[in-house]
Amino acid sequence: MSSREYEPGAASGAEVRKDGERWTLVLVRDLRHPPARVWEALTDPAHLAEWAPFDADRTLAAAGPVTLSTVGTPTPQVSASTVRRAEAPRVLEYTWGDGELRWELEPLAGGTRLTLWHGIDRRFVSWGAAGWHVCLDVLDRRLAGEPIVRIVGPDAMKLAGWQRLVGEYAARLGG
């Protein structure tokens, strides 16, 4: 499937938590794949290059420094990041620019409940939620053997349904 044929579904599975000036976007997605497969997709640079908004210069499956580079932006932003915690196939925590990301994988019958906490500037909450929504759709389809191209940055903003999705998340999350 090409990005022209893909249209994101309705906003769902998101909330925002506020602690003073700190905002955390929380996204929950049930995937139809076992935790070990999801873990590999979250940590292996070759898999990240198929769905994530950044490329990694090494695996994220071990603690330590890593360089994350945005994809699809006019000028790539290269971030010296740090994997703080990598407990396969359950918990992954790392920095990305000024943000912090935490992924938790919980086994479900027939799959995995994936929860992402992303420390994010409040001005970008609805955009961040919409962007991760699209990335997680691409991830889910790739793991199911129904791949679509990575859709990030300006390519995501060109999608039919992008403005609707951002608006739905803004209404849900207030950002």
Q: pLDDT above 90 covers what percent of the chain?
A: 85
Q: Where does residue 20 rank: exposed (0-12), middle (13-18), buried (19+ CB within 10 A)?
A: exposed
Each residue of 78-122: pLDDT tens digit? 999 999 999 999 999 999 988 899 999 999 999 999 999 999 988
The domain limits of the chain are 14-173
Multiple choice CATH, 14-173, 3.30.530.20, 3.40.605.10, 2.130.10.10, 3.40.50.2000: 3.30.530.20
Residue type, 127: W
What's the pTM?
Answer: 0.94
CB 29 within 8 A of CB 13: yes
